[in-house]
Chains A and B, each alone.
Chain A
Amino acid sequence: MGAAASLQNAPSREFLEKLFRTAYKIRVFESEGIKLYRQGLIRGYFHPYLGQEGIATGVCAALSEGDFIASTHRGHGHCIAWGADVNKMVAELLQKETGYCRGYGGSMHIADISKGNLGANGIVGAGTPLGVGAALANQVKGSDAVTVTFSTDGASNNGTFLESLNLAAIWNLNFILVIENNQYAVSTRIEESTRDTDLYKRGLAIGVESHQVDGNDPLAVHAVMEQAVATCRAGKGPVLIEAKTYRHMGHHVNDPGKYMPEEELAYYKARDPVDRARNALREMAGVSDEEIAAIEAEIAAEFADAVEFSKNSPEVTPESFREFAVGY
Chain B
Amino acid sequence: MATRELMYREALREAIDEEMAANPTVFIIGEGIAERGGSYKVTEGLLAKYGPKRVRDTPIAEAGMIGVGVGAAIAGARPIVEILYVDFAMLGMDMIVNQAAKFRLMTGGDGRVPFIMRTQGGTGGGVAAQHSQSLEALFYHIPGLRVVMPSTPADAKGLLKYALRQEDPVMFLEHKHLYMTKGPVPDGEHVVPFGVGDIKREGSDVTVIAWSNMIPRTLEAAEALAAEGISVEVIDPRTLVPLDRDMIIKSVLKTRRCVIVQEANRRGGVASDIASIVQEECFYEMDAPVEIVAGMDIPVPFNLTLEKASVPQKEDVVAAVKRVLHVQSLAAAAE
Residues of A within 8 A of B (CB): 68, 70, 99-105, 109, 111-114, 116, 118-119, 121-123, 126, 128-134, 136-141, 147, 159-160, 162-164, 166-167, 170-171, 324, 327-328
Instruction: Tell me the B9-24 residues at the A interface (CB within 8 Å).
Output: 24
Q: Which of B24, B54, B58, B103 contacts A167 (CB 8 A)?
A: B58
The answer to whether B59 touches A170 (Cβ under 8 A) is: yes
Nearest CB of A to B99, in Å: 6
Q: Which residue of A lies closest to B27 (CB)?
A: A140
Per-residue interface assignment for chain B, residues 55 to 81, with 1 indicating a CB less than 8 Å from any chain A CB and 0 otherwise: 010110101111111111111110100
* In the assembled complex, B109 has its CB within 8 A of some CB on chain A: yes
A133 pairs with B63, CB closer than 8 A: no
For B105, list chain A residues within 8 Å (CB): 104-105, 324
- Whether B76 pairs with A137 at a CB distance below 8 angstroms is yes
Contact among B61, B67, B76, B110 with A130 in the assembled complex (CB-CB below 8 Å): B67
Residues A109 and B106 in contact, CB atoms below 8 Å apart: yes
Contacts of A167 in B (CB 8 A): 58-59, 61, 64-65, 68
Residues of A within 8 A of B68 (CB): 129-130, 132-133, 136, 164, 167
With most chain B CB atoms within 10 A of its CB, the pick from A68, A70, A102, A137 is A137
Given contacts A126-B94, A160-B64, 18 further A-B contacts (CB under 8 A): A101-B108, A105-B108, A113-B75, A118-B74, A119-B111, A126-B67, A126-B98, A129-B68, A130-B68, A137-B76, A140-B27, A141-B77, A159-B63, A160-B94, A162-B64, A163-B67, A167-B65, A324-B105
Interface residues on B, range: 35 or more
Contacts of A101 in B (CB 8 A): 106-108, 110
Please give, as numbers and ranges, the residues of chain B lying within 8 Å of A133 by CB-CB distance: 67-75, 79
Known: A137-B76, A159-B63. A119 touches B69 (CB 8 A): no
Please, how many angstroms separate the alpha-carbon atoms of A109 and B77 in the complex?
21
Q: Which residues of chain B are within 8 angstroms of A327 by Cβ–Cβ distance?
A: 242
Closest chain A CB from B326 CB (angstroms): 39
Contacts of B65 in A (CB 8 A): 163, 167
> Are A166 and B107 CB-contacts (below 8 A) given A130-B74, A131-B71, A132-B71?
no
Binary per-residue interface labels of chain B (101-135) against chain A in the complex, 1 for a CB within 8 Å, 0 otherwise? 00101111111000000000000000000000000
B106 touches A111 (CB 8 A): yes
Query: When A and B form their complex, what is the total count of cross-chain residue pairs whose Cβ atoms lie within 8 Å?
Result: 148
Chain B residues within an 8 Å CB radius of A99: 108
- Chain A residues near B56: list those with CB within 8 A: 171
- Please give, as numbers and ranges, the residues of chain B lying within 8 Å of A100 by CB-CB distance: 107-108
Does chain A have a CB within 8 A of B150? no
B232 shortest CB reach to chain A, Å = 31
Asked if residues A160 and B67 are in contact (CB atoms below 8 Å), the reply is: yes
The answer for the CA separation of A104 and B103 in the assembled complex, in Å, is 10
* A104 to B110 CA separation, bound complex (whole angstroms): 11
28 contacts between A and B (CB under 8 A): A101-B106, A105-B105, A105-B107, A105-B108, A111-B110, A111-B111, A119-B74, A122-B98, A123-B94, A123-B98, A126-B67, A126-B94, A129-B66, A130-B71, A133-B71, A133-B72, A134-B71, A134-B75, A136-B68, A136-B79, A138-B75, A139-B53, A140-B25, A160-B67, A163-B67, A164-B68, A166-B61, A324-B109
Which residues of chain A come closer than 8 Å to B242, judged between CB atoms? 327
* Chain A residues closer than 8 Å to B79, beta-carbon distance: 133, 136-137
Instruction: Collect the chain B residues with CB atoms within 8 Å of residue A147's CB.
Output: 75
B299 at interface by CB-CB < 8 Å? no
Q: Could you tell me if A102 and B108 are in contact, using CB atoms closer than 8 angstroms?
A: yes
Question: Hey, which bits of chain B sit against chain A, CB under 8 A?
Answer: 24-25, 27, 53-54, 56, 58-59, 61, 63-77, 79, 94-95, 98-99, 103, 105-111, 143-144, 242
A111/B107 in contact, CB under 8 A: yes
Docked Cα-Cα span, A159 to B24, in Å, equals 31
| A164 to B91 CA separation, bound complex (whole angstroms) | 13
Q: Knowing A163-B61, A163-B64, A167-B59 are in contact, say whether A137-B107 is a contact too (CB < 8 A).
A: no
Query: Once the chains are docked, how many angstroms separate the CA of A166 from the CA of B63?
Result: 12
Which residue of A has the minimal Cβ distance to B98? A123
Cα A50 to Cα B126 with chains together (Å): 57
Judge whether B110 and A129 touch: CB under 8 Å: no
Q: Which residues of B contact A170 (CB under 8 A)?
A: 59
Structural contact, A129 and B64, CB atoms closer than 8 A: yes
CB-defined contacts of B69 to chain A, threshold 8 Å: 133
Task: Indicate if the CB atoms of A104 and B106 lie closer than 8 Å.
Answer: yes
Contact across chains for B61 and A141 when beta carbons are under 8 A apart: no
- Which of B66, B67, B95, B99 has the most chain A CB atoms closer than 10 A to its own CB? B67
Residue of chain A at shortest CB distance from B68: A133
Contact of A137 (CB < 8 Å), options: B75, B95, B99, B109:
B75
Q: Can you name the residue of chain A whose Cβ is closest to the Cβ of B105?
A: A104
On whether the beta carbons of A137 and B59 are closer than 8 Å, the reply is no
Report yes or no: B61 in contact with A137, Cβ–Cβ below 8 A: no
A328, B64: Cβ atoms closer than 8 Å: no
- Cross-chain contact A113 with B74 (CB below 8 angstroms): yes
Chain B residue numbers with a CB within 8 Å of A160 are 63-64, 67, 94-95
